[in-house]
Amino acid sequence: MSEITTDGRVQRGDRTRRAILGKAVDVASVEGLEGLSIGRLATELSMSKSGLVGAFGSKEQLQLATIRAARAIFVQTVVEPALRAPVGVVRLRALIDAWLAYSSDRRFPGGCFFARVSHEYAGRPGAVRDALASIDQEWVGLIATTVAEAQQVGEIRAEEDADLLAFDLVAYLDSANLRSLLTGGFDVYDHARRAVDARLAAAEIVPAEPR
């Protein structure tokens, strides 16, 4: 009986954490991680403050858990589907297209969660900034690795700097996300796609036409 009771408490605790984090990632994507307060979340979720404190312990722990939850959503939404594409430029474009869809479809109400909170914490040393920096490096590194794989299969010129190409492509994405939020328009995503196309066209190896 005690095992059943314990399991039930664990399951309820997991459901509670998921509900809290589901609300937290949406709030933070619009108002930043500083916008997360235990009092506010407790009110919006009709929970006690003590229940929130018990689930996370402190505001910083809540912020870090929110970042992990947002990363899991990003991986599921953008990364995993794109990685099912074949190695090479097709996979690279799949990652970029998935990111543009994730931002323009407002998977998070405030656009890209990580763009919002990274600007907020870029100049603030600590565990939160370290977590965000690690995820940013992970994403840019994935793009660079995908470029390098495309070079290995002969689809992107060997002399291209994979890190620089990744930097350029991610910059186009970040610019589209920011300007869409500032203007309320979505045509900037088309601009980003055209910029990506032009950059990749300059980097790709054009197959020789048969004689």
Mean pLDDT for the stretch of residues 206-211 = 59
Query: Is 52 a domain residue?
Result: no
Q: Give a yes or no: residue 29 inside a domain.
A: no
- Percentage of the chain exceeding pLDDT 90: 70
Q: Which residue has the higher pLDDT, 48 or 8?
A: 48
- How confident is residue 210, by pLDDT bands cut at 50, 70 and 90? low
39 found inside a domain: no
pLDDT at 16 over 50: yes
pTM greater than 0.85 (yes/no): yes
Residue at 43 is within a domain: no
Q: Is residue 21 part of a domain?
A: no
The torsion angles phi and psi of 130, rounded to 5 degrees, stand at -60, -40
Q: Residues 170-203: pLDDT tens digits?
A: 999 999 999 999 999 999 999 999 999 999 999 9
pLDDT of residue 38: 77
The CATH number assigned to the domain holding 127 equals 1.10.357.10
Cβ 23 vs Cβ 37: under 8 Å: no
Domain assignment present for residue 124? The answer is: yes
In a domain, 44, yes or no: no
Q: C-alpha angle 56/39/9, rounded to 5°? A: 40
Q: Tokens 């009771």 sit at which residue? A: 5
Q: Residue length, the chain?
A: 211
- Would the pLDDT of 153 be above 90? yes
pLDDT: which is higher, 123 or 17: 123
Structural domain contains residue 88: yes
Q: Look at 34-38, 157-161, 195-199 and tell me which has the smallest mean pLDDT.
A: 34-38
Average pLDDT over all residues of the chain: 89
Q: How many domains does the chain have?
A: 1
Distance CA 25, CA 23 (A): 6
pLDDT at 12 over 80: no
Q: What does the pLDDT look like over 52-106, one tens digit per residue?
A: 776 777 888 889 999 999 999 999 999 999 999 999 999 999 999 999 999 999 9
Range of the domain at 65: 58-203
How confident is the model over 133-157, as a mean pLDDT?
Answer: 98
